[in-house]
Structure 1
Amino acid sequence: MPYTQPLVVEPEGEAVEAPMTRAERRDQQVMRILDAAKSCFVRSGFQGASMHQICAELGMSPGALYRYFPSKEAIIEAITEADRSHEAEMFAAMGENPNVIDGFVNAAMGHLRYIHESGNAPLFTEIRAESMRNEAIQFTCHQSMGEVQSSFRDYFEAAISRGEIDPCVELETILPVLMAIGEGLAINDLPSKGVSLDRVEALMRVTMEAIFRPKRKLHETA
């Protein structure tokens, strides 16, 4: 999202842009670099895109770019870190939902919509492919995915302890399977292939009900 400077109202009533702080200018420059790098990675692949190519995309000298990021791996790490703010919002919404199945499905669908609407599916695919041969990228991906899986584990373990669900198998099996399915859905970007996310959501909901076997409340069975 492009940075917009705040407006300051002068005594005469005329609104003017307030000068950016050094930190704000740095954040703006970092976002420009990340956006340019994403374009290069999608267009040329991680291996094909060079730091010089990213510089050309930006109109920035190599010396200036290296002051922000020493390598392509560092750029990928920053891209992954930026996505964590979206994930934090997803987990917060999930935890606030009183229905454990609804909470998970709504959060998962929100993530899929974000991937589709942001156009990040090709980039996500490229990063995952590179993680198979690049240990630094692999570490970043595994760390990020591990944090997501850990959040899901805490979420479902709490529901089990409250007696809300009765999973058909242990979480040690369920969680990696769910992560693999979610990754596949994100990479394939089904809406771009004409598959309705509403239908995906209906299928996901039925699947989650079957896996976690939510227990009906006493007042629902009366």
Structure 2
Amino acid sequence: MARVSQEHLDARRRQILDGAARCFARDGFHATSMQDVFKEVGLSAGAVYRYFGGKEDLIAAIAGEAVGGVRQAFERAARVSPPPTPDVLIGRVVRTLFGDDATRRGGLDPRAYAGLIVQVWAETLRSERLAATLGEAYEGLRVSWAELVGEYRASGMLAAGVPDEHIARTLIATAQGLIAQLAMFGDAGPEVLENGLRGLMSMDLQRAS
């Protein structure tokens, strides 16, 4: 009997995750049953359970990918010296996450994918397992962004006085806020964030005082 290639196994796992993501984005985590997932992906229960033990495993895998995608997008965008300013950097991150490559999002449009991410955040309030997964990912993201803020300071782009971590958390919150707006209202794009940050960065504080 021929052995199944790793490429085939990876493709089947991807097929299941993408189908589950579409179900969750359409109907929510709790209203989606495993039967819904089987129907969406066109596979038997046995075929799906070979890869995932149940809905909780699917949610955890999707959550891990969503958070990992944010971190990878940030790391790619920040791999420049000197680092791009916050408006450019966060704009690049958002464009990477919600750009034209819908295949990376399981075929979901940007608003649906943003909604899925928001669902993941909400699910951490009831799932200790998911909270631990996202907590670990967030910690890595926070440390990376704090290091970037340190580079801003070292290059003379940022004045001393405010802790790097506080600025990093604010930048992360800005990206999170845009994702929430996109999920709820559908009218927030990367250019909104870029222009808004650019406007705030241009404030003349000396004149205001």
What is the TM-score when the length of structure 2 is the normalising length? 0.76
Change (3 A) 1:87 1:177: closer
Using the alignment, how far apart are the partners of 2:9 and 2:72 within structure 1? Answer: 23
Using the alignment, how far apart are the partners of 1:66 and 1:209 within structure 2? Answer: 54
1:1-222 to structure 2, matched below 5 A, reads 22-83=5-66, 84=68, 87-101=71-85, 104-117=86-99, 118=102, 119=110, 120-166=113-159, 169-189=162-182, 193-195=186-188, 197-208=190-201
Give the drift of 1:29: 0.5
Task: Structure 1 unaligned segments of length 5 or more: list them.
Answer: 1-19, 211-222
Give the drift of 1:86: 6.2
Task: Structure 2 unaligned segments of length 5 or more: list them.
Answer: 103-109, 204-209
Residues 187-219 of structure 1, C-alpha deviation per residue, up to 9 Å, x if partnerless?
Answer: 211896445543431211343566xxxxxxxxx
Change (3 A) 1:72 1:205: farther
Q: Which has the larger radius of gyration?
A: 1
Moved more, 32-41 or 44-53: 44-53
Task: Output the amino acid matched with 2:167.
Answer: I
Using the alignment, how far apart are the partners of 2:195 and 2:161 within structure 1? Answer: 20
Task: Output the amino acid matched with 1:98.
Answer: P
Residues 59-79 of structure 1, C-alpha deviation per residue, up to 9 Å, x if partnerless?
Answer: 212222111011323223322
Aligned 8 A contact 1:42 1:123 in 2: yes
Identity of aligned residues (%): 26
Moved more, 70-79 or 142-151: 70-79
Give the drift of 1:147: 1.7
Counting matched residue pairs gives: 189
Aligned residues: CA RMSD: 2.8
